[in-house]
Structure 1
Amino acid sequence: MQNVTLPITTRLNLLEETRFEKLPVTVYRNKQVASVQVAERIANLIKSKQQQGEKAVLGLATGATPVGVYEELVRMHREEGLSFRNVVTFNLDEYYPMQPTSPQSYVTFMNENLFDHIDIERQNVHIPDGTLAPDEVAAFCVNYERQIEEHGGLDLQILGIGRTGHVGFNEPGSAPNSGTRLVTLDDLTRRDASRDFGGKENVPTKAITMGIGTIFKAHEIVLMAWSGNKAPIIKKAVEGEVSSEVPATYLQLADNVDFVLDEAAAAELTRFDTPWLVKDCEWDEQLIKKAVIWLSNTLGKPILKLTEDDYNSNGMAQLATERGPVYNINIHIFNKLQHTITGWPGGKPGADDSQRPERALPEKKNVIIFSPHPDDDVISMGGTFIRLIDQGHNVHVAYQTSGNTAVWDDDVLRYVEFAIDFDRSLGKDTSQLQGVYDGMRQFIQHKQPNQPDSQEIRNVKSFIRKSEAIAGARYAGLSDDHIHFQALPFYESGRTAKLSVTDKDIELTMDLLQQVKPQQVFVAGDFADPNGTHIVCFNIVIEALRRLRQTEAWVEECWVWMYRGAWHEFKPYEIEMAVPLSPQEVLRKRNAIFKHQSQKDTPVFPGDDAREFWVRAEHRNHETAQQYDRLGMANYEAMEAFVRYKF
């Protein structure tokens, strides 16, 4: 990377802006751009070493984070002739025990994502051995360290970061001078890996990992992080105190480290989250709203009670000076928040809609609620779903995927047993169905972790989710002809890793949109979904609408509203429509969620929140209402929140 000498005023401003950050941070627009930059850094190192007749020694990481880097390195090899013959690699870690041919093995990961596609000499590839006998592990770890030293140490170590703050598999409690060793995995780490293994119970409890002391010896260290899921731990790692509870904070003590982030992962750093604390700001409406709400929450005072001293003492003197007096700012933001609240999510007929989130006309709107999984509609916006129907709108719901990976195998057998008994009660021949059932039991008995289900099992799981979705939509008041099951092809891989989106997925969505011609579309904007399905389904809907906009006039009058709630909720300053729910409506929403019996008690993929989905949803809806109450608004039982997507 080139060294650029900045003017002294620019350097001073940058130092002030990043004064909370205890190590170098580079932020890129998105992970694609960032991955290319890291790949170029690695390629430049390899070329420099080639020119000197030396080997480049790389420390490599696994997981979703470095995949884009490896893709770019493979492209450089194929299209630009980048050679890896002078490269020696040492991987950070491996599960233990683990067979190298297992789909979850990091040997498999590295082969599929990098090594099988470049000209690296296989004897130069080093990955911890997950097949060792327990009494062989310690000697292996000592030898791993010795091999790194014999190659002159790591020239460049790339890292990801886990939500526990681990680097490699150095979990909380790891010592800063630790070497390569066998470790026990944190429960959160195992939960995050559960989809790869078909459930947390299948994730190994141990791993072999390079130590923090080993990582520290690298000549350069690059830690990468993408997405908002990583934002909280990135803030701790970059701005927090050095602590064994967050092992990544040890990197603050290194003088050869660079954190490379996308904008989402950097979002909670002070210079992005509360920039008024570190620099002068350009105060647009959204930033003013965010800052005033932050000040209200920080001081525990309703917005209308904030004073000029409050502004001046909390980094907001510039705002008070440029836009004051502060009481006018308070009134303005109070009114903006008040105008987000509506009991008429489809618009209020005959009312002045200039200060309302939705249009009054047409009075009866065509509405489509897109639900990525068969229960996201009622979990995330069940109260609004029911309200739209009660208020007479022409509501449709579209279940985008079958959700057939998220049903317990025991439920499959139970439902088929019911079908056999029912047929038998009608005097039907059940021999064929019995044969299918016996095959299912045999398959399930010998099923390997994350092994794709047989087609018959996948079908039954789809039927279970479909019947539950119909029951939930009917309870909300929807007629059967307004319930649509898209079964988008990208999802139907039979495994947690999904297929790529194709034009077929988009065309199916365009066909439904053409059929309904909605004035309102609701889509899942909860991209924290650990399954990754929400953002894929969101992008499919948006692309379908983009294509239709080129030829269909009605699309210009179609407003898109994003909902959350299954995993996270919008921040108060982001909310553009807040639909209050009465205690009775909260109960109706809960009953609609209860129709999804296969997801009650313990769902197959609960994420890192052990509570049932209905409990999560109610808590988040109550918390949204309480936030509005603390800011000085009316005190409601619960609220569902929405943000409008603008093309």
Structure 2
Amino acid sequence: MIAEPAHTDAPFSGPLQSAITYEKIPTNIYADAKAASRAVAHEIADLIRQRQGEGKPCILGLATGSSPKTVYAELIRMHREEGLSFRNVVSFNLDEYFPMEPDSLQSYWRFMREQLFDHVDIPAGNYHVPDGTLSPDQVAAFAKQYDQQIADAGGLDFQLLGIGGNGHIGFNEPGSLINSHTRLMMLDHSTRAAASVDFGGLPRTPRKAITMGVASILAAKRVVLLAWGERKAPVIASAVEGTVTETNPASYLQTHPNALFVIDEAAASDLTRMRTPWLVDSVTWDNAMKKKAVTYLSMTLQKPILKLTDRDYNDNGVSDLLAQYGQAYDINIDVFNQLQHTITGWPGGKPNADDTNRPERALPERKRVLIFSPHPDDDIISMGGTFQRLVDQGHDVHVGYQTSGNIAVADDEALRFADFVVDFNKQFGIDSPGATHIFQDAAAFLRTKKDSDRDIDELRYVKGVIRRGEAKSTCRFVGIPVENAHFMNLPFYETGKVEKKPLGEADIQITMELIEKIKPHQIYAAGDLADPHGTHKVCLDAILEAVKRLRRADPTPANFMNDCWVWLYRGAWAEWDIHEIEMAVPMSPDQVMKKRLGIFKHQSQKDGVVYQGTDAREFWQRAEERNRTTASRYNRLGLAEYEAMEAFVRWKG
């Protein structure tokens, strides 16, 4: 049973409880992935200690990917600080790409060594990972032997799982049968697209993997599945509330007598108790819950808010709202007006206007604005229309490009650029040995680069130069001086690989220094938390910590931070729910087109995006679809019809 950890660096936050649920699998929802991971790590530690006390080995089934990283980090901490020993642990990993050399950057052998095994005292012969170096005709025999090894060890005491966006567990893709055992599996396109981040593009991503089967997983005495982020929300809801189906292999866990899903609030957002909590249990009908219920009712019934009736409320489980606030007519007008007041064409505040019901202050008329962009194109992709409005309306706009974004530049694009610089210098006899050497070395490395090679410093520099140039081009296009573009190059990002370092003190200090330099009245930051281990999350953490420290440093009214508002935007894939939005900036067709042309300035991200994910569209297409959908939702609720909208939520700290 998951227990409260004995020691953490922050107070333990247990799962969110509900009296009634629609879930067919026990599901613990935590406020964030860190708290959830600690809880799971401590269950594993308790099991290891229990088996040690019994003089028995502890047989663990382990997973890879981003989801279990914090679990492993907490286990390492307990080993170092609390004496947790792994000498009695025997582990079997779920899967491995095929073919795959064990020392490759993407190898799960390497992942497990770097994330856990090299940092604890588990004997070298006690951990097992499927062998990606086998010849195809050896795989079947190996798979049978792998299952037999688990059986000979006494079976898995505990199996840790992640979940794919299509519901796969291990690499058991949709269509896998409940009686399947360890085998070679063809990977689904969506799985390969998601994994392409690690391989530098889809063409380099393996098409096969060796995986433990569904039956092998279900044979474990205890199964715990982890999921973080809103991108996992639909498949989680299907797995725990839907039917058992081979189209979502995670749903097979409904048949397990001792399975548990451990998820964060974002991954839980599509569950009934989170999406419509009033259908599950009594709720506190504060204003936020009222807005959520009314907008949900309007969208579900496909009726504008002002047309909702008392019967609509009563027939759809929202009668308690009527009991507290009165008739539907009054509730409808209140919520409609709140939504109407979020819409503004003046994101920096409208001068000489009553700002009582506006999302931003009228004063000062000319604001200093700092837009934080995690990657060099997030500013124009996520809030390009608002960016342009702020400039056109006379505000002093700056952009803080938090990372170089260098890993998202394709190798052939970098080689073309490096060759141009070297050839140009030769053609015109430009003698700059240092600079030429950098580009020559980058080009030479690219011509012999292997898929498993990490980019050398010179190549990362070249790719960074490409992206800085594109960001400057966007700033010129929007109309701010290039000196208002600040390239922060936060150290956490500069690893030369997809996996980044944790947020460090240097990252926070750099962020604080830029805020202090500009003294903004407005900060815009990426609030896209779909991946808690991703760049956006780390960048946001750096901003919020910097803001908190600057506010604490000077508690007097003279502190400029007292007059600084923080607005959060979302990325290219998702948008805030309507009831969450506090500022919606409409765009005309001409403004949508201008935003598209601004996105085009990032030429290295067009036509062949390295980290495209499962969405084959280009960023401008994703952004436009998102912005048009937001406008359409406002219109369906009965508000004015706009071509597109960008949406923001204010962080109040």
Asked if Structure 1 and Structure 2 have the same fold, meaning a TM-score greater than 0.5 normalized by the shorter chain, the answer is: yes
| SS across alignment from 1:154 | coil
| SS across alignment from 2:261 | strand
- Does the aligned pair in 2 maintain the 1:523–1:561 contact within 8 Å? yes
Q: Which of 365, 370, 385 in structure 2 is aligned with 1:383? A: 385
Match in the other structure for 1:226: 228
- In structure 2, the CA distance between the partners of 1:483 and 1:110, relative to structure 1 (3 Å rule), is closer
Match in the other structure for 2:590: 584
- Does the aligned pair in 1 maintain the 2:512–2:550 contact within 8 Å? yes
Q: Which amino acid aligns with 1:376?
A: D
Greater displacement, 485-494 / 515-524: 485-494
Give CA deviations for 1:467-487 in whole Å, capped at 9, x if unaligned.
111111111111222222222
CA distance in 1, matches of 2:2, 2:418: 65
CA distance in 2, matches of 1:291, 1:377: 32
CA distance in 2, matches of 1:525, 1:389: 22
Q: CA deviation at 1:326?
A: 1.0
| SS across alignment from 1:635 | coil
Match in the other structure for 1:81: 83
Match in the other structure for 2:374: 372
Match in the other structure for 2:141: 139
Q: Which amino acid aligns with 1:631?
A: L
- Does the aligned pair in 2 maintain the 1:450–1:496 contact within 8 Å? no
Root mean square deviation of aligned Cα: 2.1
Give CA deviations for 1:428-468 in whole Å, capped at 9, x if unaligned.
46998776655433311221225332333222222211111
| SS across alignment from 1:288 | helix
Q: CA deviation at 1:373?
A: 1.0
Greater displacement, 336-345 / 320-329: 320-329
Q: CA deviation at 1:212?
A: 0.6
CA distance in 2, matches of 1:503, 1:123: 38
CA distance in 1, matches of 2:35, 2:367: 41
Q: Which of 244, 247, 258 in structure 2 is aligned with 1:245? A: 247
- In structure 2, the CA distance between the partners of 1:439 and 1:273, relative to structure 1 (3 Å rule), is same
- In structure 2, the CA distance between the partners of 1:37 and 1:428, relative to structure 1 (3 Å rule), is closer
- In structure 2, the CA distance between the partners of 1:398 and 1:78, relative to structure 1 (3 Å rule), is closer
- Does the aligned pair in 2 maintain the 1:575–1:642 contact within 8 Å? yes
CA distance in 1, matches of 2:457, 2:201: 20
Q: Which amino acid aligns with 1:598?
A: S
Q: Which amino acid aligns with 2:282?
A: D
- In structure 2, the CA distance between the partners of 1:550 and 1:124, relative to structure 1 (3 Å rule), is closer
- In structure 2, the CA distance between the partners of 1:52 and 1:512, relative to structure 1 (3 Å rule), is closer
Match in the other structure for 2:468: 466
CA distance in 1, matches of 2:422, 2:447: 20
CA distance in 1, matches of 2:513, 2:56: 59
| SS across alignment from 1:62 | coil
Match in the other structure for 1:8: none
Q: CA deviation at 1:502?
A: 2.6
Match in the other structure for 1:415: 417
- In structure 2, the CA distance between the partners of 1:539 and 1:310, relative to structure 1 (3 Å rule), is same
Q: CA deviation at 1:220?
A: 1.4
1:122-201 map, 5 Å: 122-201=124-203
Match in the other structure for 1:479: 481
- Does the aligned pair in 1 maintain the 2:105–2:453 contact within 8 Å? no
Match in the other structure for 2:599: 593
| SS across alignment from 1:473 | helix
Give CA deviations for 1:564-594 in whole Å, capped at 9, x if unaligned.
2422111111110001111111111111111
- In structure 2, the CA distance between the partners of 1:531 and 1:30, relative to structure 1 (3 Å rule), is closer
Match in the other structure for 1:566: 572
Match in the other structure for 1:46: 48
Give CA deviations for 1:165-208 in whole Å, capped at 9, x if unaligned.
01111110000010111111111111222222222222211111
CA distance in 2, matches of 1:456, 1:44: 47
Give CA deviations for 1:258-300 in whole Å, capped at 9, x if unaligned.
1122222222211111111122211111111011111111011
Q: Which runs of 4+ in 1 moved over 4 A?
A: 420-438
Match in the other structure for 1:62: 64
- Does the aligned pair in 1 maintain the 2:418–2:442 contact within 8 Å? no
- Does the aligned pair in 1 maintain the 2:418–2:443 contact within 8 Å? no
The TM-score, its normalising length taken from structure 1, stands at: 0.94
CA distance in 2, matches of 1:224, 1:231: 12
Match in the other structure for 2:7: none
CA distance in 1, matches of 2:48, 2:432: 66
| SS across alignment from 1:644 | strand
Q: How many residues align?
A: 636
Q: CA deviation at 1:392?
A: 0.9
CA distance in 2, matches of 1:149, 1:574: 50
Give CA deviations for 1:305-350 in whole Å, capped at 9, x if unaligned.
0011111111111111111211101000000000000011100111
Q: Which of 527, 537, 546 in structure 2 is aligned with 1:525? A: 527
2:637 matches 1:631: yes
- Does the aligned pair in 2 maintain the 1:451–1:495 contact within 8 Å? no
2:23 matches 1:17: no
CA distance in 1, matches of 2:66, 2:360: 39
- Does the aligned pair in 1 maintain the 2:415–2:446 contact within 8 Å? no
Match in the other structure for 2:11: none
